[in-house]
Structure 1
Amino acid sequence: MIKIRVPATSANLGPGFDCLGLALNIWNEVSFESAEKLSYLVSGEGAEKLNKGTRNLLTKAYTLLHETCGQKMSGVQICAHNEILMSSGLGSSAAAIVAGLFGANEMLGKPLSKNHLLKLATEIEGHPDNVAPALLGGLVVSVMAREEIITRRYEVPEMTVVIVKPIVDWLTRTARAVLPKSISRADAVYNIGRAALVVDALRNGDLELLQKIMDDRIHQPYRLKHISGGIAAYKTAKQFGAAALSGAGPSIIVFVDPRNAERAKTEIQTVFAERGIESRGIITKPSSAGCIAID
């Protein structure tokens, strides 16, 4: 039997659209054990949806790795306990993809390197901003250059992160559809400088700097106005620290002084509650570890 853990991730981080991703201390645990046939069982987040069959992103990734290695896939019993909220902007799909690839690689005796696993994960996901930190941990800057994925990984010191997810319908295709087809040069320049400073602020744990420059003109203004209560919740989050949409949303992520974490979570949730919207709140930290095998 092989057991692994894979972290949640938050991508974009304000101005780092489709380039920045951070691993978080929220985990899915998955076990893989040889069996007569393929079976899949989930507990925790998403269990009701995921237990309806055996075809999903995790099993698709598990199968793909065997095909890539030219290995016939034997039966396997896959059991997962999920803590990553689904459809939240916390990389649940990236976690499933990375878990499937990593688990299969472990079961086959590690024939592929992490760089190869990252390439396969990106082929499935379409972009590396979530799969890279899910695999590597820490803060990862990723760009695609022809057939190569160029990454740089950075350690992030202990910081306190508040995440609030409103319980609303928010599909990935909707989040993409509301984006403009082009942006102005001024907006591009606005984001480029801030993205560089976000990396610097996170690497140094500089909350004061992060709060000044974690703004965006490429995706957040367009997405927030389509998320019920999103603009008000975002403005409230900014009162406590460095706030952004987590990934494509609908979750709000905010880096805060740990003394203000509970209050920030409560007040952001109150914004949604006043509009009749339920929400989930989490207080966590960045993770230096990515997907790992455990005893």
Structure 2
Amino acid sequence: MARRGLANWPARGRRKGTRLEKVKAYAPASIGNIGPGFDVLGMAIQGMGDIVEVRKRSAMGVRICGVAGTSWRLSSDPDKNTAGIAAARTLEMIGCEEGVELFLHKQIPPASGLGSSAASAVAAAYATNFLYGCPLDNYQLIHAATVAEACVSGGFFADNTATSLLGGATLTRSTSPLEVVPLGTIPEAWIVLVRPELEVLTRKARSILPRRIPLEGFVANLANSCAIVAAFLRQDLDLLSRSIDDRVIEPLRSKLIPGFLEAKEAAMGKGAKGVSLSGAGPSLFSITDDPSKARAIGEAMVNAFHKKGMKASFFLTQMEPQGARLLPLEENRA
């Protein structure tokens, strides 16, 4: 497993000699792809994330004690829940002969395109690693979480898991061997997230994608993905806003979302320079430097969905620089 890109990013640890029996970790939501960067670019966001409590147990393996915060019937089978899979993979990589019990607090809606399953996996891997003395580095934790994500999404990609663990934006240069490049944040960016009341499973959204794409679309997405990386390096918010333009995946996945085209047109009419799907959808996002303009964009998009008979809501946020971290045991908010 490669160590480039994160060589100076060791997993955050704790003092040697301390013995813990229980910890609680938070991992933020994320925007996968950032438009054109399919499976490659991702960006963590503030104000939304999953929390996993992890307790040691003498028996080997993983047990999920409960799931709160969602109306979804998420499986408590640790082999079918990304938190359980990630914790088990972390224990295996550590070589631990004990196990853990998990309690999952879901704050990211499943099937929303906001990295819900990835955040659960990251929080579980991060907490399990911390509980047993932090023997794994960030690459190994990303790998453990991405293995879990692959079990439910149908593909091994780290655009959500890497950003949720590290914070900021990331570029996954390679998954085999794993190599992730942190890109940082653009602090003045305001992100408009619009979520129609619709569920789109990542596995389904990937199943409709073609095996071949037109060269013209490939070139356009490559150019925009490169421009997004340049925007982070130059701290150029205007370039970032213009570059969230997906010519390949979005035209296909948008067909799963009634009102998508009308919402995008409404956003552009309110001054948005770019609008795209967040991950597999159905959430959409836009970026601006003005919170008042961001609110107007969000309201216009929600109204457009309403006119198509689709309930929707919007959320204003910014990039999350920190990524996964521990919470005091009595807190359920980051």
Same fold (TM over 0.5): yes
**Helix, strand or coil for the counterpart of 1:164?**
strand
Change in Cα spacing, 1:187 to 1:39, as seen in structure 2 (3 Å) is: closer
Matches of 2:235 and 2:109 in 1, distance apart?
Answer: 26
**Helix, strand or coil for the counterpart of 1:17?**
coil
Alpha-carbon deviation of 1:85? Answer: 2.1
- List gaps (5 residues or longer) in structure 1: none
Say if 2:274 is the partner of 1:253: no
Residue in 2 aligned with 1:226?
Answer: 256
Say if 2:157 is the partner of 1:101: no
Alpha-carbon deviation of 1:71? Answer: 1.6
CA contact (8 A) 1:183 1:218 kept: yes
Over the residues paired in the alignment, what is the CA RMSD in angstroms? 2.0
Change in Cα spacing, 1:75 to 1:112, as seen in structure 2 (3 Å) is: closer
Say if 2:91 is the partner of 1:66: yes
Matches of 1:263 and 1:123 in 2, distance apart?
Answer: 39
Say if 2:34 is the partner of 1:13: yes
Residue in 2 aligned with 1:273?
Answer: 306
Say if 2:115 is the partner of 1:91: yes
Alpha-carbon deviation of 1:238? Answer: 3.0
Residue in 2 aligned with 1:137?
Answer: 167
Matches of 2:303 and 2:203 in 1, distance apart?
Answer: 28
Alpha-carbon deviation of 1:203? Answer: 4.4
Alpha-carbon deviation of 1:174? Answer: 2.3
1:148 is matched with which residue: 162, 177, 180? 177
Alpha-carbon deviation of 1:202? Answer: 3.9
**Helix, strand or coil for the counterpart of 1:49?**
coil
1:33 is matched with which residue: 55, 76, 88? 55
CA contact (8 A) 2:43 2:170 kept: yes
Alpha-carbon deviation of 1:269? Answer: 0.9
Alpha-carbon deviation of 1:83? Answer: 2.2
Change in Cα spacing, 1:75 to 1:7, as seen in structure 2 (3 Å) is: closer
Q: Quick check: 196-205 or 282-291, which moved more?
A: 196-205
Matches of 1:94 and 1:165 in 2, distance apart?
Answer: 18
* TM-score, scaled to structure 1: 0.91
CA contact (8 A) 1:201 1:209 kept: yes
Residue in 2 aligned with 1:214?
Answer: 244
**Helix, strand or coil for the counterpart of 1:88?**
coil
What percent identity do the matched residue pairs reach?
31
Matches of 1:188 and 1:66 in 2, distance apart?
Answer: 40
Say if 2:136 is the partner of 1:112: yes
Change in Cα spacing, 1:30 to 1:279, as seen in structure 2 (3 Å) is: same
Alpha-carbon deviation of 1:195? Answer: 0.7
Alpha-carbon deviation of 1:39? Answer: 4.2
Residue in 1 aligned with 2:327?
Answer: 294
Matches of 1:274 and 1:40 in 2, distance apart?
Answer: 42
Superposed CA deviations along residues 70-93 of structure 1, whole A, max 9, x for unmatched, are 2223352x3333322221110001
2:73 is matched with which residue: 45, 49, 54? 49
Change in Cα spacing, 1:203 to 1:236, as seen in structure 2 (3 Å) is: farther
Residue in 1 aligned with 2:204?
Answer: 174
Q: Quick check: 245-254 or 61-70, which moved more?
A: 61-70
Alignment of 1:191-210 (within 5 A): 191-210=221-240
Change in Cα spacing, 1:36 to 1:115, as seen in structure 2 (3 Å) is: closer
CA contact (8 A) 2:113 2:200 kept: no
Letter in 1 for 2:162: A
- Count the aligned residue pairs: 291
Matches of 2:158 and 2:206 in 1, distance apart?
Answer: 16
Superposed CA deviations along residues 45-70 of structure 1, whole A, max 9, x for unmatched, are x25523x6343210121122112222
Letter in 1 for 2:206: R
Letter in 1 for 2:32: A
CA contact (8 A) 2:33 2:279 kept: yes
Say if 2:147 is the partner of 1:123: yes
